[in-house]
Structure 1
């Protein structure tokens, strides 16, 4: 499905998704049109499903982050997932085992916004209960 050149291309894009096709071609020692064809194929085959941004470290440090664990009514899990996906402050959602069914990672610019988002999550149909933990400091992310 993907070869070593594709792997190198994906690795470069992970570092900087905005790198120009000319720069990618130069780094991989292949033509710009070959890069464009490879990118199109990777997109068409859903290997690349989109391009994202990475926040400046100073901006990221200013954001408040919390893990919101949720116990969900089993029959409403799908609808709850759809509703959570519409909340822009939810940056990630994980299905987990144990007492809770899901963990959402929430990012907000203020304590007030964070509180409102957590309340909004708790009010969703299908949410039985929540437990939130505010992240005080990130030691490292890989």
Structure 2
């Protein structure tokens, strides 16, 4: 028997490598196409799941911040309560309500009559209650 080139046809039933590759090439391309589509599909699903986790985490953070904001609004309303402020003013600062009239009216100035002197109003006890410089 003589040995010949494996790609050449002999008198027997030899199959050429080129012919086998030509028959397998469409199957290899088809397999590569399916593998590529599968990889892209899995990668896109992983990205969707990751984005879902991020969204869930952001929504949980939003709910926590809303609860914190509501708590702070309630605390602010409690701290601004007039009864609480009056109690603090009386107990800690020693303040009290004024005994006499609260509003003291000053004489109105006529337009064009400008004075350079300081105007002071005093109540009955001689305490200065308003000061306005010109």
Shorter-chain TM range is under 0.3
Greater helix proportion = 2
* TM-score of the superposed pair, with normalisation by structure 2: 0.21
TM-score in terms of structure 1 length: 0.20
Higher strand share: 1
User: Relative contact order: is structure 1 or structure 2 higher (C-alpha 8 Å, sep ≥ 6)?
Assistant: 1
